[in-house]
Amino acid sequence: MPRGHAPRTHPHARPARRMPRPLLAAVLAAALLLPVGVPSAPAPGPAHAPTPVVAALFPSLPREAHAEEPAAYNAGFRTMGIWIPETGERLDVAVWYPSSRAPSEIHLGDWTLDVARGGKEVPGRFPLVLISHCTAGSRLAHHDTAEALARAGFVVAAPTHPGDNGNDTSLLFLPEQITARPRHISTTISKLLRTPETAPMIDPARIGVIGFGTGGATALMLAGARPDGSRYAGYCERTTPGDPYCTKWAAERLARLPEALRPPKPPAGAPGTAGAAATADAANASPPPTGTEDSRVRAVALVAPGYGMLFPRAALSRVTIPVAIVKADDDEVNRAPLHADALRAALPRPPEFAVLAGADHYALMASCPPGLRRDLPELCGGVDDDARQTIHQALNTRLVRFFLSTLGEAGPPLPAPAPVPESVVQQAPPPDVPAANANATAPKAKKDDKRKKDAKPRKPDAPPARGGTQ
């Protein structure tokens, strides 16, 4: 946006619900059953080592992936805004990309980034990775992961999800928290592929998505999963005490899921119905595409995924692209047995899988800035900075390797436009530059005009004889 210009206001946009931080802290604490200002106590169980380590289970990747790999590029950075006219939503999007300019510290709100803002792009066509942030997060909540991917040769984009971010939690535990996010990601992809500043550096055939927390459901829906709202019934009987999905406030909102996420009734004769044709083709037919599926997405990673109870095996039957799941071992929000572990067992193709031992749910955000740690300590988790750095080094290395193995490395830059043949240039001079022989022909044109003016009118020809030809 040019300096000195106020942001535009869409005529149908919802007014932003910017919640004061003390009130936001109280809302989240009530929703998640976390004491305000006090880190949650670890759940009873086997003691972990003082420093969290990664129990890496990705079978196709080397086990020594803890070490941070040397960066191939610097991380460039820019921001953009996107309107969704159908809903009146504005998306604030952060974009990271491979750059040749050296990075420096920049401050955006509470966050400090190590990037080259507006840095020159490295020539090439790079895979694109979208990040769907955690509940009450933002486009910058996972900036260190985005920077690591950009340094490894990826373009990365992260929108702030309206209604589910640090300034506006109005959609928390409502069906729209789940259903709106895939639209935000697909719209961001389309915008990036149309924008002259970003389109030339993206390979549209190699796109992936990382979903943190609730973003895990987003990634699955983009991959073809269809959440089943009826599966929330009975969830609170199966989980352990204190599950945030089972507070009174959350349960009242989540009670709307069965109606809002009702699976569509299959047409008569479809596979699985009484009138289905008894043929091998019918028995093996795939279910129809979902309204949120985006065929441009070729691989997804789920980090401490949420809403796992809504995705039984049948809901995941269309997910055939590569999937990675990273589980936080001490996740007090999305408890692994009913989320990460359940998704791992239900996916039709075995996913890549990793466990971050000693990591709680909020340890997966980038290092908490001082202002956020002071005002919303419950969003910063209970791990110290050294432990968080160890966790993130392992997490980012795993994500980089997963997407390098599924999407590939950078490709060649777009070919330069073909040169215009010299003969064509000579035949079509610019209109404001006269051709070399233009003056030579001008006098003759004037003389011809004078002859036409002085010529006497001719008598009309005699009509043809009757019966002759016209």
Cα–Cα distance measured from residue 23 to residue 26, given in angstroms and rounded to the nearest whole number: 5
The Cα-based distances of 293 to 89, 177, 310 in angstroms read 20, 17, 16
pLDDT in tens, 303-315: 999 999 999 999 9
Average pLDDT over residues 430-434: 43
Query: By C-alpha distance, which of 263, 344, 342 is closest to 309?
Result: 342
CB 352 within 8 A of CB 331: no
- Written in H, E and C, the secondary structure of 389-427 is HHHHHHHHHHHHHHHHHHHCCCECCCCCCCCCCHHHHHH
Task: Return d(Cα 186, Cα 208) in angstroms, integer.
Answer: 11
DSSP 231: G
The confidence score (pLDDT) of residue 358 equals 87
DSSP state of 186: H
DSSP character for 290? P
DSSP 23-76: HHHHHHHHHHT--TTSPPPPPSSSPPPSS--EEE--TTS-TTTTSPPPPSSEEE
- C-alpha 31/C-alpha 173 separation (Å) is 9
- Give the span between the Cα atoms of 131 and 98, in whole angstroms: 17
Q: CA separation (Å) from 461 to 261, 454, 464, 466?
A: 85, 21, 9, 15
Task: Please state, rounded to an integer, the average pLDDT across all residues of the chain.
Answer: 78
The model's confidence at residue 436, banded by pLDDT at 50, 70 and 90, is very low
DSSP state of 246: G
* Residue among 96, 195, 191 nearest 152 (CA): 96
Q: What is the predicted pLDDT for the residue at 262?
A: 79
Residue type, 449: D
Range 241-246, long-range pairs (CB < 8 A, 24+ positions):
242/33, 242/332, 243/335, 244/31, 244/32, 244/33, 244/332, 244/333, 245/173, 245/309
Please provide residue 131's backbone torsions phi and psi, each rounded to the nearest 5 degrees.
Answer: -115, 125
Q: For residues 70 and 468, give the distance between their C-alpha atoms in angstroms, rounded to a whole number.
A: 94
Pick the closest to residue 406 from 50, 129, 190, 102 (CA basis): 129
Tell me, which fold does domain 54-265+286-407 have in CATH?
A: Rossmann fold (3.40.50)
Phi then psi dihedrals of residue 249, to 5 deg: -65, -45
Q: What pLDDT digit, counting tens, does each position of 387-421 carry?
A: 999 999 999 999 999 999 999 987 777 665 555 55
Q: How far is CA 3 from the centre of its chain?
A: 27
Mean of the pLDDT values across residues 321-348? Answer: 97
More confident residue, 25 or 36: 25
Q: What is the H or E stretch that residue 81 is in?
A: strand 74-84
Question: Three-state DSSP class for 266?
Answer: coil
- Tell me the pLDDT band of 369, cut-offs 50, 70 and 90: confident
C-alpha distances (whole Å) from 307 to each of 19, 232, 322, 335, 337 are 25, 9, 20, 10, 12
Spatial strand order of the sheet with 89-99 comes to 54-56, 352-360, 323-330, 297-303, 202-212, 126-132, 155-159, 89-99, 74-84, 111-117, 104-108
pTM of the model: 0.74
Which amino acid, one-letter code, is at 43? A
Query: Structural domain boundaries of the chain?
Result: 54-265+286-407
pLDDT tens figures, 120-152: 999 999 999 999 999 999 999 999 999 999 999
pLDDT of residue 433: 41
Cα distance between residue 304 and residue 340, in whole Å: 7
